[in-house]
Structures are given as C-alpha cells and as structure tokens.
Amino acid sequence: MIKKLLGKLFGASTNEPTEVFITVRLNDKIMPIFRGDVYEDPLDEFLKDKGYGEVTGGGTQLDEDNGVAFCDLEIELSVQPTDHVIKEIADKLEFLGAPKGSKIILEDKEIPFGKLEGLGLYLDGINLSEEVYKNSDSEALAADIRKLANIKSDVIRYSEGNTETGLYFYGESFEEMKNSISGYISTTPDCEGCRIVQVA
C-alpha cells in the first residue's frame, strides 16, 4: 500500500516501457539511395514484428573525397536493450550483409559486429589514355567483378574522387575476392594502375 502511494506521488512505474535510442554504424560504403532497401526497411520490419521498436532515421558520412565513409541507422527501442535484443539486431544486420567493422552504439558502449569483408578497387582517373576513358564503363566493370568473385548482391557501391574512382565489393573473404579477379584486373585497360584495398 505504501509503495503504491509513493509510486503515485513520485510518478514511479515499473510497468511503463522505457524508450531507448541506439545508433547502428555500418562500415559499408553503400549509397543513400540503396541504404533503405538493403538495411533500413528490412530492419524496421524486423523490429516491428518482434515488438522491439522501429528505425527512426539514417544518415551517411562522407570522406574527404566525397565518397561514403560509413552510414548510420537510428533506432528507437520500446524494450530494454538486453544482450539478447542487441544480439538479435546484430544478427539480423549481418544476415542483411553488414561488413566487419560495424558497431552498435548504446550510450557510451560500442558493440562490434559484421561478417563480410570488403574490397575497394580504385581506378586511375587521370593517367590513362583518352581512348580508355572514352570506352570506360564502370557499371559493366563492376558487374564482371561481381560475377568473377561470386558476389550475390547487385547493389552498386562507388565513389568519384578528383583522381580516382572507387568501386566497392563485399564478400566472405577479401583475399578470395582479390585472387578471383587478379587475372581480369591485369588484362582490363580500365584497371591499369589501379589500387586494391581492404575496406572491411
């Protein structure tokens, strides 16, 4: 009786759900136009089906060359962020293709997750012949690489800097992707002088 009275006086209630906001930082160089289809919409549906909350927003951080550095998803939870809930969210995002180096940010705590590794192919944008640039087709090039590396996603990830064009691919193993395209890279004019970098 006394506890109920004190609860009414001070507005305390153990039954009311507490809204908690968390940030998902995805180490994915995905363009904003595709972020919703790949991550936001499926995750929002998952959270609502589970009764966990919803995705309330998202954003993209650019690097110094105006390419995508990473992207964020904002989540409003209607349940407590227990280890089980956080793991389920991370598992869902990994199922959707979240790369290594991603993390869930909860107040001052960061929970790393992600399974796929990333390969960045940086094409020389200033030193090749005019003929190469005239006949260049980055979309066809990306499609060829996805096929050779057995990458299932057909989402185009790219950046256009002052001196290079970056194409990005995510798969089970960076080394396997790199090895699978090495012959193609060495014989394709567009790839002369290119750089390959692990980005996840």
Give yes or no: residues 62 and 96 share one domain: yes
Q: What is the four-CA torsion angle of 89, 108, 99, 29, rounded to 10 degrees?
A: 120
- pLDDT of amino acid 17: 52
- Examine the pLDDT at 8 and tell me if it is beyond 50: no
Give yes or no: residues 157 and 133 share one domain: yes
Give yes or no: residues 58 and 123 share one domain: no
Sign of the alpha-carbon dihedral angle for 140, 30, 171, 88: negative
The pLDDT tens digits for 83-96 are 999 999 999 999 99
Least confident of 88-97, 150-159, 171-180: 150-159
**Final residue belonging to a domain, choices 78, 113, 148:** 113
- Examine the pLDDT at 6 and tell me if it is beyond 60: no
Give yes or no: residues 87 and 6 share one domain: yes
Pairwise pLDDT comparison (44 vs 152), residue with the higher score:
44
User: Residue 66 maps to which CATH number?
Assistant: 3.30.70.260
Give yes or no: residues 98 and 124 share one domain: no
- pLDDT of amino acid 22: 97
**Final residue belonging to a domain, choices 53, 87, 113:** 113
For residue 129, the tally of other CB atoms under 10 A from its CB is: 10
Question: 């790839």: which residue's tokens?
Answer: 191
- pLDDT of amino acid 167: 97
Q: Which residue range forms the structural domain that includes residue 132? A: 117-198
Give yes or no: residues 11 and 44 share one domain: yes
Give yes or no: residues 121 and 53 share one domain: no
The pLDDT tens digits for 29-78 are 999 999 999 999 999 999 999 999 999 999 999 988 888 999 999 999 99
User: Residue 121 maps to which CATH number?
Assistant: 3.30.70
DSSP secondary structure of 143-166: HHHHHHTT-------EEE-SSEEE
* Average pLDDT of the chain, as a whole number: 91
Give yes or no: residues 31 and 129 share one domain: no
**Final residue belonging to a domain, choices 92, 113, 134:** 113
Read off the pLDDT of each residue in 147-176 and give the average, rounded to a whole number.
Answer: 94
The pLDDT tens digits for 81-134 are 999 999 999 999 999 999 999 999 998 899 999 999 999 999 999 999 999 999
- pLDDT of amino acid 64: 84
- Domains in the chain, number: 2
Edge-to-edge order in the sheet of strand 164-171: 158-160, 164-171, 117-124, 195-198
The answer to whether the CB of 28 falls within 8 A of the CB of 102 is: yes
Give yes or no: residues 93 and 130 share one domain: no
Give yes or no: residues 35 and 50 share one domain: yes
Read off the pLDDT of each residue in 14-20 and give the average, rounded to a whole number.
Answer: 62
Give yes or no: residues 159 and 140 share one domain: yes
Give yes or no: residues 68 and 154 share one domain: no
